[in-house]
Structure 1
Amino acid sequence: MSLDVPRTEPSRDRPTAQETRRRLEHARGTRLTQLRALTDTGLTVEDHLTSAQKHSIERVLKEIDAAFARIEDGTYGTCLGCAKSVPAERLEILPYAGHCVACRRRAT
């Protein structure tokens, strides 16, 4: 038995376009359900918390739409900030991520 076994798990392969679309559709469906539930509470947008939640959900929906556009134009998985590959693990967690972690930190 070799002791030259890497201690970390090897990088995962990039998900297929079909799998990515499925994940994005799931994320979109979840956010739309959240938006409907928020609307069904009867609270108005004048309520500060309701307004903030609605704004956050709508922002994520725009990010999801932008991710679909990146799939179509062939740039999905490429950081919008530095043009390097966004790690597959990040895309698995946030399939609509447009930036690598370092660029996202710099943007906030």
Structure 2
Amino acid sequence: MSLDTRRTEPWLERLTPHEARQRLEHERNTRLTQLRAVDETGPDATEPLVSAQRDTIKRVLAEIEAAFTRVQDGSYGICGGCSTAIPVERLEILPYTRYCVPCLRDAA
């Protein structure tokens, strides 16, 4: 199934809250490990590339925390642009995403 298509089925395949939390926890742990590795780079930590990496990881961590909130309030897996279900395949790849592929493409 293409990640590009909007779902039109009467039933919507979604991750359970437990599955979503597991995926998000794994993603958060991975990013925290990356952040520790970047922080351990030593005196060159002020280098622009290292600083950009740190900023990107922190941004993704914030997105992950926002996704945990969406799981809690029941809006996880619903596109913030078109309000349709985000395909499970996309959530498996990028569990903290807020948008389906068409809406993300339209925003760019």
Taking structure 1 as the reference length, the TM-score comes to 0.84
Provide the residue aligned with 2:6 in structure 1: none
Unpaired runs of 5+ in structure 2? 2-8
Match for 2:22: what amino acid?
R
Q: CA RMSD in A?
A: 1.7
Provide the residue aligned with 1:32 in structure 2: 32
Identity %: 55
Provide the residue aligned with 1:22 in structure 2: 22
Matches of 1:95 and 1:23, distance apart in 2: 6
Matches of 2:14 and 2:83, distance apart in 1: 16
Matches of 2:73 and 2:16, distance apart in 1: 15
Residues 3-31 of structure 1 show CA distances to partners (whole Å, capped at 9, x for unaligned) of: xxxxx7xx994221111101100000000
| Structure with the larger RCO, 1 or 2 (CA within 8 Å, 6+ apart) | 2
Question: 1:57 aligns to what SS in structure 2?
Answer: helix
Matches of 2:79 and 2:28, distance apart in 1: 21
Unpaired runs of 5+ in structure 1? 1-7
Within 5 Å, give how 1:57-96 maps onto structure 2.
57-96=57-96
Provide the residue aligned with 1:5 in structure 2: none
The total of aligned residue pairs comes to 98
Provide the residue aligned with 1:54 in structure 2: 54
Change (3 A) 1:41 1:54: same
Higher radius of gyration, 1 or 2:
1
